């Protein structure tokens, strides 16, 4: 029997737990204050328009429908970005962020099979699995500093300085998974300088755009990596910011040195895609392009995205305050500094296991808490249990 997935396996264990007071803080899913993961109203409205207007289920292109790329490119880069006017960026609709990463993995393996992919320590567990499955070697660079609960920037740069030219590096665009710790803009600039000076291929995993500070604000740091004539790959996801989790909707974007090369890259991406899943499942992609391309729906969606972001930030403060009120040792304020869905709690694997066995509280084995699933009603039992196990 294969071992259970470190994230999805915990969510499956939660579902099997008969305790009516169980709490699920495992997989990265947004919950409202009533512990539901609602379908956004903008998505409902887009779906009703799609159902009414749809006349065929014929295949899209291998890369998805043109309206998807037309909507997603300015979403990632902003309308005025140079890569749009020079037409050196191309996008395909992929089945979720994981699907986009696998396309990138297969593409890198096909075009440059000896490439090592460098991931942060820690990183999202599926990164390692996906790139290994694509036949690539994976190595780690330092990222999280346990003492400060912040970025281990000096250590990270020291390792980046020695990454061989031609290797690839995964950088989380924002809302780092699992730590919630992102580089500052100045640090992004230094990372970008080094990555390009050393001729390392940047792969930006941009799964949480809009969940940090805002859609454009979250892109400022990672877009430092997009420099004239330099290449980059970007894996996007609409699972979180459109709450389209089970519709498997993501994007794979390649930035090439010029338009001609971008066309060649897209031709290669299409070969890769065709051999894995032929063309993407259409529904989620049509929802995203319908919303992004319609000013009213887009406004409604942006307001819903802000509501989700505001709720998570409110829960960060509530969690930190309740931990302090319950006498949990240490300064909990770092929780309010972290961005996105997750907080790296520092709980040990033994403490995580006790939370599960004794209190039916499910968090990931590395101590990652999904703050987006903390609610005013579960925060007190959660903090009581944490106080009891540490």
CB of 131 to ligand LMR, least distance (A): 15
Q: Which of 389, 390, 365, 388 is nearest to 25 (CA)?
A: 365
Q: Which of 250, 230, 222, 255 is nearest to 87 (CA)?
A: 255
Q: Which of 118, 124, 188, 301 is catalytic?
A: 124
- Residues near ligand LMR (CB under 6 A) are 7, 27-28, 124, 126, 177
Q: Which is nearer to ligand LMR, 118 or 124 (CB)?
A: 124
CB of 59 to ligand LMR, least distance (A): 27
189 assigned to active site: no
CB of 100 to ligand LMR, least distance (A): 12
Burial 213-234 (b: 16+ CB within 10 A, else e): bebeebbebbbbbbbeebbbbb
205 assigned to active site: yes
Assess contact for 326 and 162: CB atoms under 8 A.
no
CB of 190 to ligand LMR, least distance (A): 27
Q: Which is nearer to ligand LMR, 187 or 366 (CB)?
A: 366
The dihedrals phi and psi of 127, each to the nearest 5 degrees, come to -55, -50
CB of 263 to ligand LMR, least distance (A): 32
CB of 98 to ligand LMR, least distance (A): 6
Residue with tokens 């740069």: 157
Residue with tokens 């809009």: 210
Q: Which is nearer to ligand LMR, 210 or 226 (CB)?
A: 210
- Beta strand pairing status for 116-121 and 342-344? unpaired
Tell me, what DSSP letter sits at residue 199?
T
Burial 274-305 (b: 16+ CB within 10 A, else e): eeeeebbbbebbbbbbbbbebeebbebbbebb
| Pairwise CA distance, residues 44 & 226, whole Å | 35
Q: Which is nearer to ligand LMR, 196 or 309 (CB)?
A: 309
Q: Which is nearer to ligand LMR, 118 or 245 (CB)?
A: 245
35 assigned to active site: no
Assess contact for 193 and 244: CB atoms under 8 A.
no
Q: Which is nearer to ligand LMR, 222 or 224 (CB)?
A: 222
| Pairwise CA distance, residues 144 & 136, whole Å | 24
Chain residue whose CB lies nearest ligand LMR? 28
Q: Which of 188, 205, 301, 339 is catalytic?
A: 205
Catalytic residue positions, numbered? 124, 205, 240
């Amino acid at each position: 029997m294969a071992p259970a997935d470190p994230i999805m396996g915990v969510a499956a264990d939660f579902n099997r737990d008969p305790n009516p007071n169980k709490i699920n803080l495992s997989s990265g899913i947004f919950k409202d204050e009533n512990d539901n993961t609602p379908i956004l109203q903008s998505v409902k409205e887009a779906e009703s328009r799609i159902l009414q207007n749809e006349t065929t289920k014929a295949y899209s292109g291998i890369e998805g429908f043109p309206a998807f790329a037309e909507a997603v490119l300015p979403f990632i880069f902003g309308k005025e970005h140079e890569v749009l006017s020079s037409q050196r960026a191309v996008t395909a609709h992929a089945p979720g962020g994981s699907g986009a990463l696998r396309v990138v993995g297969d593409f890198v393996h096909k075009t440059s099979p000896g490439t090592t992919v460098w991931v942060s320590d820690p990183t999202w567990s599926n990164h390692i699995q996906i790139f290994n499955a694509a036949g690539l070697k994976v190595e780690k660079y330092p990222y999280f500093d346990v003492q400060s609960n912040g970025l281990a920037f000096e250590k990270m740069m020291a390792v980046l300085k020695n990454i061989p030219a031609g290797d690839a590096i995964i950088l989380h665009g924002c809302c780092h998974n699992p730590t919630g710790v992102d580089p500052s803009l100045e640090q992004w600039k230094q990372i970008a300088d080094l990555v390009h000076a050393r001729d390392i291929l940047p792969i930006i995993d941009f799964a949480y755009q809009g969940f940090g500070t805002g859609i454009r604000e979250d892109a400022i740091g990672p877009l430092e990596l997009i420099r004239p004539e330099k290449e980059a790959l970007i894996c996007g996801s609409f699972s979180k910011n459109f709450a389209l989790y089970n519709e498997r909707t993501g994007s794979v974007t390649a930035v090439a040195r010029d338009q001609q090369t971008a066309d060649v890259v897209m031709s290669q991406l299409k070969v890769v895609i065709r051999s894995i899943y032929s063309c993407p499942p259409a529904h989620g992609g049509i929802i995203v392009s319908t919303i992004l391309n319609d000013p009213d729906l887009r406004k409604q969606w942006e307001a819903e995205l802000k509501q989700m972001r505001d709720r998570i930030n409110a829960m960060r403060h509530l969690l930190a305050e309740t931990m302090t009120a319950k006498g949990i040792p240490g300064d909990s304020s770092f929780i309010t500094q972290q961005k996105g869905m997750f907080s790296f709690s520092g709980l040990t694997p033994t403490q995580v296991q006790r939370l599960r066995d004794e209190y039916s509280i499910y968090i990931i084995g590395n101590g990652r808490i999904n703050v987006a699933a903390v609610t005013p009603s579960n925060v007190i039992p959660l903090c009581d249990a944490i106080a009891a196990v540490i």
